[in-house]
Amino acid sequence: MTEASLTEAITRRRYHGLYLSRQCPDIVDLSRELLGLHCWFHRNVAFSALIRGADLSGWKSALTKTWLYRGTLHGAAYDELPRLLSLHRDGESWLRRSYSEQMLSDVADKVVRCMEDGVHSRAEMRKIFAYDYEPKVIEAMFSPWGGIFVYLAGLGKVAFRDMASRDFDLIDAEPAGTRTEVLPEMLRRYFKAYGPATLDDAAWFFGFWREDRKMLRAFPLDEYDRFELDGRVYYRCGEPDGMDDLPEFNLLSGFDPIIVSYTERSAVLPAEYKRSVILKSGICLPTVAVNGKVAGLWNIKKGEPVVEFFKKQPKRIESGVLDLVDSIHWHITGRL
């Protein structure tokens, strides 16, 4: 098999595993299969689900929005949280580097008491805590990036009220094991859905750094199929039956798993388009793929479907993509 054909085979397999060439009608099942749905912007979860054939009925409460790997927000099945959170139990964070564990515990306990008394808004808590803490501490603990709520989320005590809310609820999803205990299952699920992938891909996906990566490289991997391409070793978990060919064109959500889950993205995201798709802020825009490669952008802006190709495409592709975006627009109307 030539390098080009092997690269295409990798993309084809990933398309299958990530439900881009088949459908998953249930959004909770989809989240389980993909180990959570990236939701820095909550509507990207709706986009991702619709693209993959999932129904949006009750989607805002079907999943739980919280911080998982890489410090990013995901929509996950509630009963999965104890396992998923175990990957970073007591993990390093900028709050832990800046404040003592005792102080974090004290603030966290007070936040929990506020929530038990019916206070669920970050803004309300800032006012309450302002009587007892300096402005610098308030800014850190109630940062728009999460602050103390990330700390509590990692303990399985807090999550957003629903997928679209900025307020929080108490939950009971304490991590159910150590990283070493849950990692075999998590790796197996990752390589099944996201494979073929490298160990660096898995480390990036789960947010492992430095010493963690050394641990991952020492992990037993005999159960996985493997092959080499361009000096990289790829792993996969089993060979699925009935994989479809790559669609001639399809939509990808913002922060789509096939783009953000790998260290090497050029097979799907050509280098010349990277800056147009992944902004300096880190935001990854919704894209159009043609024959498995990103070829343009799409979105819903001011209630209207918008498509922008980087290069001229055949009319059937341009009109077909616009129909897909219009369908997404129709399905999300009144649901976001």
What are the pLDDT digits (tens) for 271-306?
999 999 999 999 999 999 999 999 999 999 988 999
Residue 91: what pLDDT?
65
Cα 152 from Cα 25, distance rounded (Å): 32
Report the C-alpha gap between 190 and 14 in whole angstroms: 11
Q: Whole-model pTM? A: 0.93
Q: Is there a contact between 176 and 86 (Cβ–Cβ < 8 Å)?
A: yes
- Looking at residue 90, its pLDDT comes to 67
Give me the mean pLDDT over the 135-164 stretch: 94
Per-residue confidence (pLDDT) for residue 76, from 0 to 100: 97
Q: 188-243: per-residue pLDDT in tens?
A: 999 999 999 999 999 999 998 877 777 788 888 889 999 999 999 999 997 777 78
**How many CA atoms does the CB half-sphere of 84 hold within 13 Å?**
31
Proportion of the chain in helix, strand, coil states, percent, rounded to 5: 45, 15, 40
- The full set of domain ranges for the chain reads 3-86+178-236, 91-170, 249-332
Within 13 Å of residue 150, how many CA atoms lie on the same side as its CB? Answer: 23
Separation CA 38–CA 44 (nearest Å): 7
Tokens 């850190």 belong to 140
pLDDT of amino acid 2:
79
Instruction: Dump strand ranges (E) for the chain.
Output: 37-38, 64-67, 73-76, 158-160, 168-170, 225-229, 232-236, 249-252, 287-290, 293-301, 304-309
